[in-house]
Structure 1
Amino acid sequence: MRQPDGYLNRLYDELQEKRENVNEPWEQKRVKLLKDLKASLGDFELPARETPFEDVLLERVELDEAIRERVEFTTLGGLRMPAYFMKPKHLQPGEKRPAVLLWHGHGYGSKSMVGLQEDGTPKLASGKPSDNLALELVRRGCVVLAPDEAGMGDRKLERDMVQDPELKNSCYNLSVSLFMTGKTTAGLRAYEAIRAADYLAGREEADPARMGNMGHSGGGTVASLSAALDERIKASVVGLYPNTYRGSILAMRHCLCNYIPGILRHAEMPDLLGLIAPRALFVEAGIHDPIYPVETTREAIRRLTALYGELGCPEQFDSHLYEGKHEISGERSLDWLAAVLSR
């Protein structure tokens, strides 16, 4: 045949068969898979947790219910990460709250998580939680850090901004450049997320023992991978992303930042999501999502339900499939996350 579709399907089937024929205890499998995941993401060196962040306060705004700060700090390799930090307005001195890392998807970055439009003006209210996810979490008693991920928001490549000012993100050029060095955009974002967790854990308003994360679509990639790598994340909401690779990013054109070379030799996406277990995990998705089809979302949910059951902690996993396309709900997940982190 001229078209290579059948060849690709055979490759996938062979790798799936090899993975399914591995009969190891879960904890042994988990240790090996974590090692393989780290190797596939690329070699990223994190600074020691006590390394100074050289953080600066760029802006402070008093809102009706919250204080919103724009901060910037060093992550790894000299990179600087801008982020919004939001806390309840009447937080008492010395009071520590559950802390959430909030990861945006493709779009215009962290502004979209804190109720702002791309130009920095307030969003027009639609009444949906997604208008201002950070504020919704603050209303539920949390403090929130919403960073800009590498290649998006205020962190697009300089060359992209010069060559094509209308370009929405730098995911493609960032990814191909990292691939050529043996690294990945998924890895860079996941390891920067660990450093962001270091920063959040050190904030006087945050309780590092009650730290969680939330991300949708591309932010779901960051939330899931960083939670797999960082056991300080007690609870995770991963939305508009949990699926199988075969059913989603291999079934249609997706952003290059989703791809991890060689990962199918070791795992399918539900296996990587399972690395979060036995810590708490909530999956949400729209049943009419055109790029993460619900049929394979349900497959991921079935596999995760089985894993949490085998580990004796079925109450640590929950999911919500709702009427909608590739759009955030938060109808159940926001209350779930706040409740788990308040235990």
Structure 2
Amino acid sequence: GDVAAALGVPAPRATPRPRVVDSWTADGVTTERVEWWVGFGPPTAAWVVRPQDASDAPRPGVLVLHCHAGVKAIGAERLVRTPTPSAAAERLRRDLYDGRALAQDLARRGAVVLAHDTFAWGSRRFDLDPLPVSLRGPVRGAELAWAADGVVPDDEQRYDAAAAAHEHVVAKTAGTLGTSFAGVVAHDDLVALAVLRALPGLDPARTGAVGFSGGGGRAAALASLDPDLRAAVVVAMMTTTQALLPAYADAHSWLLTTPGLLGRYGLPDLAAGRLAHDLLVLSFADDALFPPDGVRAAHDELRTRFTGAPGRYDEAVLPGPHAFTAEAQDRAADFLETSLGTAGLSDGPGGS
């Protein structure tokens, strides 16, 4: 469609079949680490999380989309509790997710959950060793700042310093090839959504997507790109374009600032899609990345658009800064449970 053309989304190939690499059961859910290949670059690592109970009824599926956060050394691991978590995953869960593991929490609600590394993150990241010449200055600057602060960075933090300076190179290259950074990310997300729908025991007609920050923008894009998405939850990624520019543009990555996109399709346009899906938008009163007037105007616009529409719309501006709080995660889980018909389990989302 028009949004796919604006982003330059490459057409996904046939749905790949995931290969199980590892599995474990804990706290009422079974988690599989899987991987597949999209046809270019390294294989995609992902995690499939299911309720441990043995019900044979087809279950709804939820695609959980990791944030940007300036952390590309890992991807979806920040959303999944693993037996040997990386330091980056633990930092991100502590600082941005109230210590929770969203994938396992939603699975305890009765859904089959898929969390994948998207293009440029985690397993899909770029090999920046040795450093390209253009990155040596920025990385040296980061090293001097760490030294001045008495910080000894780990390998993940070193990689992220290089990846931050590399993102504009990726965006420039993608544009030259007729796509965009966000377009290739959307390609990986569409492949993951197809993988989710093909999993055994899943009802492909009941699938949703949820994401925070950059992941929220990805959920909004899927709402426009995938006509069969039943529900989308966009967290901490909503404003009108007019209010965003110019003062707040520099606060955001190339995931949001695709040339020409916001001039034609703002965040409310993306999230509204065809108005046939259920949509929850959660924003935060003290989120420094978004202008408060733009947030309010975008919520008002979406409320108007969904009046009389087939899809259900809900929203809230919650207290606090830019973080996927426990309150917001509970609201997202409740919304998806209602929209997708999840068989809610008694322990709820707080057990991770």
TM-score (norm: length of structure 1): 0.80
For residue 148 of structure 1, report the CA deviation from its aligned partner. 0.6
Percent same amino acid at aligned positions?
A: 26
Alignment map for 1:90-169 (pairs within 5 Å): 90-92=53-55, 94-106=56-68, 107=71, 108-115=74-81, 117-119=85-87, 131-159=100-128, 162=131, 166-168=158-160, 169=163
Alignment map for 1:303-342 (pairs within 5 Å): 303-309=301-307, 311-313=308-310, 316-328=312-324, 329-342=328-341
Query: CA 1:190 to 1:95, structure 2 compared with 1: closer, same or farther past 3 Å?
Result: same
Q: Aligned letter for 2:24?
A: V
Cα separation, 2, equivalents of 1:139 and 1:249: 40
Cα separation, 1, equivalents of 2:131 and 2:50: 36
Q: Give the number of the structure with larger relative contact order, counting CA–CA contacts within 8 Å between residues 6 or more apart.
A: 2
**1:57 is aligned to 2:20:** yes
C-alpha contact 1:320 1:332 (8 A) present in aligned 2: no
Query: CA 1:265 to 1:248, structure 2 compared with 1: closer, same or farther past 3 Å?
Result: closer
Q: In structure 2, what is the equivalent of residue 240 of structure 1?
A: 236
Which range is displaced more, 179-188 or 155-164? Answer: 155-164
Which range is displaced more, 107-116 or 247-256? Answer: 247-256
Q: In structure 2, what is the equivalent of residue 272 of structure 1?
A: 270
Q: In structure 2, what is the equivalent of residue 223 of structure 1?
A: 219
Cα separation, 2, equivalents of 1:278 and 1:300: 18
For residue 119 of structure 1, report the CA deviation from its aligned partner. 4.1
C-alpha contact 1:217 1:239 (8 A) present in aligned 2: yes
Query: CA 1:161 to 1:55, structure 2 compared with 1: closer, same or farther past 3 Å?
Result: farther
SS at match of 2:238: coil
Q: Aligned letter for 1:101?
A: L
Cα separation, 1, equivalents of 2:60 and 2:7: 29
Q: Identify which of 71, 81, 86 aligns with 2:49.
A: 86
Q: In structure 2, what is the equivalent of residue 196 of structure 1?
A: 192
Q: Aligned letter for 1:335?
A: D
For residue 288 of structure 1, report the CA deviation from its aligned partner. 0.3
C-alpha contact 1:244 1:269 (8 A) present in aligned 2: yes
Cα separation, 1, equivalents of 2:208 and 2:302: 19
Q: Aligned letter for 1:139?
A: R
C-alpha contact 1:130 1:330 (8 A) present in aligned 2: no
C-alpha contact 1:191 1:226 (8 A) present in aligned 2: no
Give the aligned length: 303
Q: Aligned letter for 2:113?
A: V
Unaligned runs of 5+ in 2: 133-138, 140-154, 343-352
C-alpha contact 1:175 1:257 (8 A) present in aligned 2: no
Cα separation, 2, equivalents of 1:231 and 1:260: 22
Alpha-carbon displacement from aligned partner over 1:115-156 (angstroms, at most 9, x marks no partner):
354348878889x66611112211211110000111122322
Cα separation, 1, equivalents of 2:89 and 2:125: 20
Q: Aligned letter for 2:318?
A: Y
For residue 334 of structure 1, report the CA deviation from its aligned partner. 1.3
Q: Aligned letter for 1:138?
A: A
Q: Aligned letter for 1:306?
A: T
Cα separation, 2, equivalents of 1:189 and 1:264: 17
SS at match of 1:226: helix
For residue 172 of structure 1, report the CA deviation from its aligned partner. 3.1
Which range is displaced more, 250-259 or 72-81? Answer: 72-81
Cα separation, 2, equivalents of 1:178 and 1:239: 27
Cα separation, 2, equivalents of 1:155 and 1:99: 23
TM-score (norm: length of structure 2): 0.78
C-alpha contact 2:223 2:277 (8 A) present in aligned 1: no
Q: In structure 2, what is the equivalent of residue 6 of structure 1?
A: none
Q: Aligned letter for 2:61?
A: A
Query: CA 1:154 to 1:193, structure 2 compared with 1: closer, same or farther past 3 Å?
Result: same
SS at match of 1:258: coil
Query: CA 1:48 to 1:54, structure 2 compared with 1: closer, same or farther past 3 Å?
Result: closer
C-alpha contact 1:161 1:167 (8 A) present in aligned 2: no
Query: CA 1:139 to 1:249, structure 2 compared with 1: closer, same or farther past 3 Å?
Result: farther
* RMSD, matched Cα: 2.6
